[in-house]
Amino acid sequence: MTTPAPGRQPGPGLSPAVDGKKAPIGQHQISIHERPAAAPASSGGCGPSRAEICVVACAEAWRGDGTILASPMGLIPTLGARLAQLTFSPGLLLTDGEAYLLAPGAPAGPGLRPGAYGADRLAEGWLPYRAVFTMVAAGLRHVMMGAAQIDRYGNQNISCIGDWARPRAQLLGVRGAPGNTVNHPVSYWVPRHSPRVFVERVDMVSGIGYDRAAGLGPRAARFHELRVVVTNLAVLDFQTADRTMRLRSAHPGVTAGDVIAATGFPLAVPDEVPATRQPTAPELALIRGHLDPAGLRDQELA
């Protein structure tokens, strides 16, 4: 497990995890090319599908992050990170998972920054995997991981189901989750929102939640930040007084009751639950024509 470097001094433009301050969330300034698209429909219709709404919800997790390494895990989070890089977060760094930082290729389309169109991706930098750990320790990363289980405080399990000494199912192991959650912002992607995933208590803690972070003390937990949890039903966050999970928005066609019924613990639910933002017309064009023309995104929710 990596730990923050003692006495590190943040510089300008570093992520919120580095300077100990949280970036404001939920701030979305609408521009002329960010008007909502048509009503929800299948990918084959004119309106956005549920998968496309999830892509945009994942993209929004990186809004305002600046020049940091975005590390999405899963197809829809990857599409979201690339969409954010092509539109409202051009400073994001994305890798091929091995050694190169990748940038989108050439000409621009209407309402989009230069480089937004073009299927080819260009190598814009050298980032061998060993250097990623330096970025983790410096807080210059925002990862969107999966979760086999997650509880109301954001404790995440990707290691095993059942008792640790004799589990019913062995999963990935804790991997980098402990170091990720104490060093830089972390979000989660759950393609199937259910009480089996959203549990009262996780069987093993891989990534730490707000209750355990508080127990570490202010110095050890000063870079801990769980940004959002995006699922096939909703977007959730931890913007409550006791840092428990809150329903931030429900996807079009989903009610607050649907989300509550699919969650194995009490959720904080505001009086008015907004609908998750729909893709704009330029965003839909990017998703369908350039980022995922084969429509594989829909399979992730199947």
For the chain, domains (ranges, CATH) are 48-301 (3.40.1080.10)
d(CA 86, CA 92): 9
* Residue 37: pLDDT over 90: no
Give Cα 81 to chain centroid, integer Å: 8
Q: Per the structure block, which two tokens stand in for 65? A: 């992050």
Dihedral (CA of 55, 104, 15, 64) sign? negative
Contact 187, 229 (CB under 8 A): yes
When pLDDT is averaged across residues 270-288 and rounded to a whole number, the result is 97
pLDDT in tens, 132-186: 999 999 999 999 999 999 999 999 999 999 998 999 999 999 999 999 999 999 9
Q: What's the CA angle centered on 40, arms 39 and 42, to 5 degrees? A: 130
> In this structure, are residues 291 and 83 in contact, taking their beta carbons and an 8 Å threshold?
yes
pLDDT of 104 reads 75
Q: What is the pLDDT of residue 17?
A: 34
More confident residue, 130 or 190: 190
Instruction: Provide the pLDDT confidence category of residue 263 given band limits of 50, 70 and 90.
Output: very high
Q: Model's pTM, two decimal places? A: 0.81
pLDDT tens digit sequence for 229-258 = 999 999 999 999 999 999 999 999 999 999
Region 77-85: mean pLDDT is 96
Nearest in space to 63 (alpha carbons), one of 160, 166, 142: 142
Find, among 76, 28, 36, 85, the residue nearest to 55 by Cα: 76
pLDDT at 29 over 80: no
